[in-house]
Amino acid sequence: MKNACVLLAMLAIVLAGCSRDEGKQAGQVTVGFSQVGAESEWRTANTASVKSALVAPGFDLKFSDAQQKQENQIKALRSFIAQRVDVIAFSPVVESGWEPVLREAKAAGIPVVLTDRAVKVSDASLYASLIGSDFIEEGRKAGRWLLQDSTGKPGPIRVVELQGTVGSAPAIDRMKGFHEVIDTDPRFKLVRSQSGDFTRAKGKEVMEAFLKAEGGHIDVLFAHNDDMAIGAIQAIEEAGLTPGKDIRIVSIDGVRGAFEAMKAGKLNATIECNPLFGAQLAQLIRDVHAGKPVPKRIVVEEGVFTQDQAAAALPGRKY
């Protein structure tokens, strides 16, 4: 009876291995990718870049949209583990709460690659690498632009901040970097700071509340992404003010909509956050699957763009 149980267990393992490889081409890497959602132009461009890079015959992509909910993403990761994919890649909705599912992936022998956003875990070996932007430096760049643009302007300079999704790495880090810079200058006074959840609609809603609370006495808006800034521009115009003049605006991402707003004089500056790293991610996944040593952190190259550059740069923008 004991020998029969052992044989049945061995047969189950063999069958599971067969189901994992069923339909796969030789050398093909099965990737489970969980995206945050489709909350912005940036995210849409990032998804398109990833999908265009992780294609057959090199890859078999299993894609999941978390719709900005961590519970959806954890379910997707567990589904990938159950399907015994070769590599899991995901852009975490928030920083914390991932350790249990990442330990499950490690126990299953499935390496994990983080894209765009970091996680907080007690064991760094739970993921192989993180590819994406330096969000703290993006915040610093926004702060440096504001300092330079405020040369000769008297204080107090009243600043409002549209934060990204609460608990997310870009919201935490962009805030940190921005305040590292502007908090050194006593002219700047942060009067309001609230999450707009990285969406255009929420950015407009929160900016309307800021304007009402401050009676329109706002000098600068710092938005953690362009979509919230574009929503805020609409709120500013509806309040009878001129965005880009009455209220200077700096945001982050560098999406096409931001360049159109800068060209129209409604947005003063955007800090680039490059979403087009699909090809780099594909190579990283190949290396991780092959067991090659990879950097723990890979940072993509990015720039700063202002109104005077917008018209020339706009035709060449890919997102």
Task: Name the β-bridge partners of 269.
Answer: 250, 306
Mean pLDDT across the chain: 92
Contact 84, 16 (CB under 8 A): yes
For range 262-269, the mean pLDDT: 98
pTM of the model: 0.85
Would you say 218 and 191 are in contact if contact means Cβ atoms under 8 Å apart? Answer: yes
Position 292: which residue type? K
pLDDT band at 26 (very low <50, low <70, confident <90, very high): low
Is the CB of residue 207 less than 8 Å from the CB of residue 178? Answer: no
The predicted model gives 274-279 an average pLDDT of: 94
Which helix (H) or strand (E) is 221 found in, with range? strand 220-223
Given a cut of 70, whether residue 2 has pLDDT beyond it is no
Average confidence (pLDDT) over 239-245? 97
Beta partners for 132? 299
Is the distance from CB of 283 to CB of 29 less than 8 angstroms?
no
Which pLDDT value is given to residue 24? 60
Return the H-helix or E-strand segment holding 63.
strand 59-65
Share of the chain above pLDDT 70, in %: 92
Tokens 């723990």, residue located: 296
Which residues, 6+ apart, have CB-to-CB distance to 219 below 8 Å?
157, 158, 159, 247, 248
CA atoms within 13 A on the CB side of 270: 30
Task: Check residues 14 and 214 and name the one with the higher pLDDT.
Answer: 214
